[in-house]
Amino acid sequence: MNMRFSSRDCFSQNVEDSIQKNISLATYNTFRFAYRAEFFAIADSLDVLKALLAWASRFKHEVTMIGGGSNLLISGDVKGLVIVNRLTGINAREHSGNLISLTVAAGENWHQLVEFTVNQGWFGLENLALIPGTVGAAPVQNIGAYGVEIKDVLARVQVINRLSGDVYWVNARDCGLAYRDSHFKGKWLSTLLITAVEISLKKQGRLLLTYGGLSDRLPAQPSLKNVFDMVCQVRSEKLPDPKTLANAGSFFKNPIVSQDQHEVLKARFPNLVSFRFEDGFKLAAGWLIDQAGWKGKQFHGVGVYEKQALVLVNYKDETADSLLLLEAEIKQSVYDLYGVNLEREPVQLPSLMYLDHATNLETLN
């Protein structure tokens, strides 16, 4: 009997043939922990991604999608299918007036996108330079630096439903964007994966220089490129390059306390570094950890970065065991000293609540 296969059948079969088994994730996370994926594949187009999700659904495999792995703490082998997001493409649309809309695929490099917009003379992303990871990470963590967050310029997010394969857009205002948080880390964790974002930029804009002392290091009338270059310089001075020293950037969120708690802390610690935030205050986690005596400390094969106590680094370990112990020690000492709980910024994989969920861990980093 003759059998006929459609081109779609052949395509799906080719995608399935590309799935690998028992692959080390050491080169896919910037901590370089060498845990393994049960199944592994790279998605470089929406069609490939849909086929991979269909395969996982058919065999009832869990799905995890990662980008640059720069905001990721892998602490064990990962069951199911790990998909590396390599979707690429940038499309710019110029509107009448002052607006530029950019549609950017989730697998694009974030810093390269920022550099591209600055070279075009478009305002909005310059303070977010040199943040490692991919574009798809930006909404997940609501990335931010020097007084700017991605929610300030994000218009909408394209997602794929990992169960149905449907692709559609979600308005940014519906994504639950908050301080280093979004619905992609919460109620949408098990269903939606980010495939692209739409960003609104300005052809003429106002530079934000008040945060982090940027204005003190810039000319009296700085250009867009001046700000971009200075942000890159400041970040390079404070943060280690993941390519040379394994790390996931800022490991702890800046804790937020009430006004009453802030007053108590300020009375006890006059040099406390804090910033007004909504109805309370945001404390500088790096300052708290530094004052607790952790900056530059080493613990087995990991440690606290000597120039920035907010960053944990991996010198030589292949597993996360020592890092998790170090994290616990730092949290306890800061709580004992200040009564403040620190919260981790990188997303842990496998998730402690991981049963049959797909995770959307870009960078996230």
Residues with active-site annotation? 180, 250, 345
Cα 330 to chain center, whole Å?
22
Distance, CA of 222 to CA of 313 (rounded, Å)? 34
Distance, CA of 171 to CA of 184 (rounded, Å)? 13
- 3-state DSSP call for residue 265? helix
Distance, CA of 178 to CA of 181 (rounded, Å)? 5
The first and second tokens of residue 182, run together, are: 């979004």
User: Which stretches within the chain are classed as H helix?
Assistant: 7-17, 46-58, 110-120, 137-141, 224-238, 259-268, 285-291, 321-338
Asked if residue 147 lies in contact with residue 212, where contact means CB atoms within 8 angstroms, the answer is yes
The first and second tokens of residue 262, run together, are: 């802030």
Determine how β-strand 78-85 pairs with β-strand 144-145: unpaired
